[in-house]
Amino acid sequence: MSNFETNDHFYLSTNALSLMNSYVGSTFVVKYGGSAMRNNVLQSNVVQDLCFLRLLGINIVLVHGGGFFINEWLSRLNIEPKFENGIRVTDFETMELAEMVLTGKINKELVSLFNQNNIFCVGLSGKDANLVQASAMFDSPENLTGKVDLVNKKILNLLLSNNCLPVIASIASDLQGNTYNVNADTVASAIASTLKADKLILLTDTPGILYDSSNYSTTIKDLNLKTIESLQLQHIISGGMIPKIQSSIDALKLGVESVHIIDGTLRHALLYEVFTSERIGSKIVL
């Protein structure tokens, strides 16, 4: 059994219990990143929620980034991180460091947390079994930021059909063996689209999409593509939210039922967003 605590009033909700039953056999792709994973306590809380979902019979695919930790290591080396429209610009030195941090450190720490909760999982990057094939996003040979070309559905189905929870670092390669750092939102969206997931859930360090980025009480709870277009025209969506929104739109157009952007730093945020009517993040549908 998982070490998940069951004494929260959340579990007394009849509505929640009904929703739990309705999601048995569903597939959720969860992207975990940002400052929401900045310490062991936050990571443990999120993993426990994911373990609970898995024990309910929901198929979980976890995709993680780790920009907070990459920036931390870049700072130690006196390297200034660079971004364009919310996407990291990856030179050779940053690429080498990103792969070490994401696949060698964060991925295995998350796997270890699942192991502690007796959940059968496996840690991967997009390079393993050609799970995610990528190519360069930019023309410059010195920028190793990548985009997703193809997701290997066969390996994902193999893992999920054997009750295995994949934990995937957003590092990928092309058929020539070149390695790319791919935005984790983009990887999660591509995987969710390939699996036709019921939900794509983006765990970040903000409450969702905000009318006013300086006021967390302005979270927009329900959106559709028309609403998103209006917000883009008003330049309300900016910075790191840009790739999240584009990933959300791509996933919805390719068959994902709904996308949720929520604050992963809040305890049980995942469960409240999925199982209660008082959702805490932003839900996007077609």
Structural domains of the chain in order of their starting residue, each with its CATH number: 24-284 (3.40.1160.10)
**Residue 139 and residue 39: Cα distance in Å, rounded?**
36
Binding residues: 66-67, 88, 181
Q: Is the pTM of this model over 0.85?
A: yes
Chain centroid offset of residue 34 CA: 10
Tracing tokens 């590092």 back to the chain, one arrives at 171
Q: Quote the DSSP letter at residue 176.
A: T
Q: Where are the alpha helices (DSSP H) in the chain?
A: 14-22, 40-55, 67-76, 92-99, 107-116, 153-161, 184-195, 225-233, 241-253, 269-275
CB atoms within 10 A of CB 2: 18
User: What contacts 58, CB < 8 A, 6 or more positions away?
Assistant: 23, 24, 25, 26, 27, 28
Bridge pairing between strands 121-125 and 199-204: unpaired
CA distances from 135 to 152, 180, 253 (A): 15, 7, 22
**Residue 175 and residue 244: Cα distance in Å, rounded?**
27
User: pLDDT truncated to tens, each residue of the chain (286 aa)?
Assistant: 444 444 455 554 556 777 788 999 999 999 998 778 988 899 999 999 999 999 999 999 999 999 889 999 999 999 999 888 778 889 999 999 999 999 999 999 999 999 999 999 999 999 999 999 999 998 888 899 999 999 999 999 999 999 999 999 999 999 999 999 999 999 999 999 999 999 999 999 889 999 998 898 999 999 999 999 999 999 899 888 888 999 999 999 999 999 999 999 999 999 999 998 778 999 999 9
Binding residues for substrate: 66-67, 88, 181
